[in-house]
Amino acid sequence: MSKWHYDVVVVGAGPAGATAAETAARMGVRVLLLDSKTRPGTPVQCAEYVPTAVKRYIRLKPGCVVQRIDSLRTFINDQLVSTLAAPGYMLDRAVFDSSLVQQAREAGAEFWPGAKAAARTDREVVVRRNGQEVKIACKVIIGADGPRSTVGQWMDSQNQSFMIGLQYRMPLCEPQSSTDVYFCPQYRGGYAWLFPKGDTANAGVGVNLNFKHVIQELLRDFLKGMTTRGILGETPLDSTAGLIPVGGPLPVIHRDNMLLVGDAAGHTHAVTGGGIMSAIIDGKLAGQAAAKAVLHNDLSRLAEYPEQWRSLLGRFLGRAARQREECDRNWTCDPEKFANLIKRTWISFPGNLEGRELHAN
């Protein structure tokens, strides 16, 4: 078995992992970025919206943005109840993720697509690549490998609560500049959405994982309503599905020489399911902490990451987790009680606007 040597190994090349790899590499350490997919960002597993605030943290290269968004419209029981200014962008996630990986490579990180982290020994990661196993000696491991993280397993710190989302890309009959969210009791623990992308739209449904057996029927009914009203065309262009961690931030995101970021750390908004912005912020913080630990030969510097994360995002995502618990406890088919529950917990309503610039899907 061949052996390679790096300072930092980042497992997962989504927004969190690619940002962590770029950040650490720019600070002068040797970084290896791995992803089990041959093309990060495919298949698309999110609604692809980010707020304009994303530009504070990363460069959006040409081709990443499909269109601008002005507002978020919220519907409860088919009634429009809120229009909130929410300037942002609809992304092409495949182009976006690829550009972040390219920026990491330009900073000096090496990228191995189609490489899966299989095991960990003391200061080594065993990677399966091209049908072979190789050992990677490293000082720091960053787990950016999604909701069911392998690195999280090594740390005994894993997400336990999930939503499942099913989404079709559909023809859009008329241009629009709002993202639309639909709440009905049948979308148990979640909602339906329609997010425009030029002449197409991402239209989907998300529900608690326990209700995955009805999600196809729910989405079919939602799309039928949209086509009947002349909003969407009838023929799906493609589809995707994915898990979204909604149990709140994991209590352990640093153990030994390992860090967890993004979905792997449970750092999604537990009500909206959004996580792109927090993933990018995680990547910045974890990449800095990892590089400092290497440059100072002091692994205790890794503890700076959870401290800084809590300071920036802990209150915001902790509140969302409590709101998710309230939704799960009080979900109801009573129209008035249901509407009041959504107004107490959804981001568009007074009292829930803190940190709204981070709400991204």
- Distance from C-alpha of 184 to C-alpha of 312, rounded to nearest angstrom: 33
**Architecture of the domain whose range is 49-91+161-245+332-351:** 2-Layer Sandwich (3.30)
> How far apart are the C-alpha atoms of 167 and 220, rounded to whole Å?
10
Q: How far is residue 283's CA from residue 31's CA, in Å, rounded to a whole number? A: 13
- Beta strands 31-35 and 49-51, pairing class: unpaired
Kindly give, in sequence order, each residue whose CB lies less than 8 Å from that of residue 20, ignoring residues fewer than 6 positions away.
10, 142, 144, 261, 282, 283, 284, 286, 287, 290
Every domain of the chain and the residues it spans: 3-45+93-159+247-326, 49-91+161-245+332-351
Element (H, E) at 81: strand 79-91
CATH superfamily entry for domain 3-45+93-159+247-326: FAD/NAD(P)-binding domain (3.50.50.60)
**From the centroid of its chain, how far is CA 144?**
10
Instruction: With CA atoms as reference, report the closest residue to 72 among 202, 210, 182.
Output: 182
- Tens of pLDDT along the chain (361 residues) come to 678 999 999 999 999 999 999 999 999 999 999 999 988 777 777 789 999 999 999 989 889 999 999 999 999 999 999 999 999 999 999 999 999 999 999 999 999 999 999 999 878 999 999 889 999 999 999 999 999 999 999 999 999 999 999 999 999 999 999 999 999 999 999 999 999 999 999 999 999 999 999 999 999 999 999 999 999 999 999 999 999 999 999 999 999 999 999 999 999 999 999 999 999 999 999 999 999 999 999 999 999 999 999 999 999 999 999 999 999 999 999 999 999 999 999 999 977 666 555 554 5
Residue 180 three-state SS:
strand
Does pTM surpass 0.85? Answer: yes
Beta strand segments in 92-233, E = 110-113, 115-121, 124-129, 132-137, 140-143, 162-171, 178-183, 191-197, 200-208
Strand partners, 117: 127
